[in-house]
Amino acid sequence: MSIQTDIKKHALEAYPNECVGYVAKGKYHRLENVSNTPTERYQLLNKDKLMLFKLGKDLQALVHSHPVMDNEPSEADLGAKEATGFTFWIIGTDGKNTTEIKEID
């Protein structure tokens, strides 16, 4: 499967929650969303955050879904992107369909 197919599948399976994962070395990797409000936001385990920073240049993107058909970054997304410096990919879903994956670089 392609990276885009893997991301779309994860977003659809996680719905109505936000999915979260990352792309490194040309492959999509799923992460656990541990948020208390997973339908509104994602949160990562501290060990996963540390692992992402350790990937350095091998980290191509941090990926998450919006459980509405919207792939525009929220204020929280923009703040997280600014704080981490990561490239973000966002996909919207309604549980049946998905938007295109939008890159926020």
pLDDT at 72 over 80: yes
Mean pLDDT estimate for the chain = 97
Sheet of 102-104, strand order: 27-31, 20-24, 59-66, 88-92, 102-104
- pLDDT tens digit string along 25-34? 999 999 999 9
pLDDT of 105 reads: 81
Q: Where residue 56 sits, what CATH number does that domain have?
A: 3.40.140.10
Domain that holds residue 82: 3-104
Answer whether 92's CB lies under 8 Å from 69's CB: yes
Q: How far apart are CA 57 and CA 69, in angstroms?
A: 30
Give this prediction's pTM: 0.95
Number of domains in the chain: 1
Instruction: Count the helices and strands in the chain (H runs, E runs).
Output: 3, 5
